[in-house]
């Protein structure tokens, strides 16, 4: 599984990355977490940061950040 965190590195994006990594750890799932900071690349997926893309599927865009339960749901969906 590949998880992309879209954001230029503002505090929100860092917080989101932390949450995703924590969710993976708690679920004991292996995934490659990629930080996408280039606006040319971010612009392909979303209009407002931060964003989450799992296996090339857009899961989240903008603020407020997704809750832990939500992130776990996505991971489990994609992990089947």
Partner 1 sequence: MFKWFADYVTYQLLHLPQGNHLADSLNFFLYDVPKIYFLLAVVVFLVAIIRTYLPPERIRRILSHEKEFIGNITAAALGIFTPFCTCSAIPLFIGMLESGVPLGVTMSFLVSSPTINEVALVMLWGLFGWRVAVIYILSGMFIAISSGFIIGRLKMERYVEEFVFKVKAQQEGFEEKLTWKDRLSYAAEYVREIFSQVWLYVLLGVGLGAFIHGYVPVEFVTRYAGNGNPFAVIIAVLIGVPLYSNAASTIPVVQALFSKGLALGTTLAFMMAVTALSLPEFIILRKVLKPRLLLTYFGTVAAGIIIIGYLFNLIL
d(CA 66, CA 38): 22
Give SS3 for 35: strand
Q: Residue from 2, 26, 34, 67 that binds partner 1 (CB under 8 A)?
A: 67
Pairing of strands 57-61, 32-36: unpaired
For the question of residue 24 being annotated catalytic, the response is no
Draw the binding track, 17-56, toward partner 1 (x: CB under 8 A; -: no contact). ----------------------xx-xxxxxxxxx------
Instruction: For residue 68, give both structure tokens.
Output: 């832990």
Contact residues toward partner 1 (CB under 8 A) are: 7-8, 10, 12, 39-40, 42-50, 58, 61-65, 67
Q: Which residues are catalytic?
A: 10, 13
């Amino acid at each position: 599984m590949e998880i992309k965190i879209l954001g230029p590195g503002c505090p929100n994006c860092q917080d989101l990355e932390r949450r995703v990594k924590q969710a993976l750890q708690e679920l004991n799932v292996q995934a490659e977490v990629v930080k996408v900071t280039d606006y040319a690349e971010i612009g392909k997926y979303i209009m407002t940061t931060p964003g989450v893309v799992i296996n090339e599927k857009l899961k989240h865009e903008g603020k407020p950040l997704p809750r832990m339960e939500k992130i776990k749901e996505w991971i489990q969906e994609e992990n089947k």
